[in-house]
Structure 1
Amino acid sequence: MTDTTTLRTATSDDIDAIDTLIQRSYMTLLKDDYPPSVLVTAVPVMAHAEPELVEAGRFFLAESDGRITTAGGWSEEPPGGMAAVPHVAHVRHIATDPAMVHLGGGRAVMTRLMEEARAAGMLQLQGLAAQSAVGFYEKFGFSPEAETLVELAGGIRFPAVLMGADL
């Protein structure tokens, strides 16, 4: 991270800015691995911060010069309404501003959410990674567990890779 980068817990006042960041990030950074038809249908549906995660203090932001550069959080509940498994947490919405990739914001946010999940008694962390993000997850000790199709509202299916790591 740069000298002017800070890490903080998101608040409800940040939700609109987080949504904008996630949408811009996904539309730009996923374009090499997904056809435009998938991006234009899936990103608007999935690129939203979940207010309950923000309100629970489980969503974190990296900022540089007062601008949000990276966002991400974790939950005990898996995405998509699946049943929770004791001591297994889930990465939610890691996104970095395309102009700020490889500057440490993603590393800072992922490290923080892993520390917070571990401190809350979680033993494992899973994430549904976009194909473009598999390498990023692997840097934190995650391994691919399965390729999957994430079922989104409106019958939209988004190809992803289920990643897992021990905490």
Structure 2
Amino acid sequence: MLVRKTSEADIPAIDELLSRGYPELLKKDYAASVLDSALPLITTARPGLVTSDRYFVAVLKDRIISVGGWSTERPTGGQEAGLGHIRHVVSDPEYVRRGAAKAVMAATFEDAHQAGVTRMECFSTLSAVPFYQAMGFVTLKRVMVPIGPDGIVFESVLMFAQI
């Protein structure tokens, strides 16, 4: 497995992974009605994130099997010195619990640390809380995160880690 930074050329494959991964991985923790509203908003790659030099893919046999990265800006707005924010981490459902997301997170932490980040926040899906706990995050609180222009909110868990 290779972990590398993303480029604009990866966007179609990332879109495909997000469209396949999120519905499968989130269905046990969210009502179908919630997913019907949220999935169209979260299953496309963010071009600015993909080309930020802070987003990574895990590739196995020329197939992207996990993605994720970080930003200095909170997804809900604002910045704080030394604080980074985990963004859009997901794995192919066929490769969950095989180390791909962990490898992406290791690259993310290393990259953020080299940029002077010492603390990380993430808005975890309900489904991903155990993964983030295994990566050293602690739960701060449940939050409703605005994800769309029409007032759509998505239940998440705000988590924190020292890196």
TM-score, normalization by structure 2: 0.96
Within a 5 Å distance, the mapping from 1:84-163 to structure 2 comes to: 84-153=79-148, 154-163=150-159
Within 1, Cα distance between the matches of 2:19 and 2:34?
A: 13
Summarize deviations over 1:10-32 as a string: whole Å, max 9, x none. Answer: 11001121122112111001100
Render the CA deviation track for 1:110-165: whole Å, top value 9, x for unaligned: 11101111110011001100001000001111000110001121221110000100
**Cα RMSD, aligned residues only:** 0.9
Partner of 2:46 in structure 1? 50
SS of 2:128 mapped into structure 1: helix
Q: Which runs of 5+ in 1 are unaligned?
A: none
Distance (Å, rounded) in 1 between the aligned partners of 2:43 and 2:116: 28
Q: Which residue of 2 aligns with 1:69?
A: 65
Q: Tell me which moved more, 39-48 or 25-34.
A: 39-48
2:10 pairs, out of 14, 21, 40, with 14
Percent identity at matched positions? 39
1:29-44 residue pairs with structure 2 within 5 A?
A: 29-44=25-40
Separation in 2, partners of 1:129, 1:56: 21
- The structural deviation recorded for 1:51 is 1.6
5+ residue gaps, structure 2, are: none
Query: Runs in 1 of length 4+ with deviation above 6 angstroms?
Result: none
Q: Which amino acid aligns with 1:30?
A: L
Give per-residue Cα distances to partners, 1:49-95, cap 9 Å, x unaligned. 22222222111000111000000010000103x21111100000001
Q: d(CA) in 1 for partners of 2:121 and 2:58?
A: 21
Count of paired positions:
162
Q: Which amino acid aligns with 1:84?
A: Q
Structure 2 counterpart SS, 1:159 = strand
How far apart, CA to CA, are the structure 1 residues paired with 2:131 and 2:123? 12
In the alignment, is the contact (CA less than 8 A) between 1:47 and 1:93 conserved in 2? no
Aligned equivalents of 1:47, 1:125: Cα separation in 2: 23
Structure 1 position 47, deviation (Å):
2.4
Paired residue type of 1:102:
R
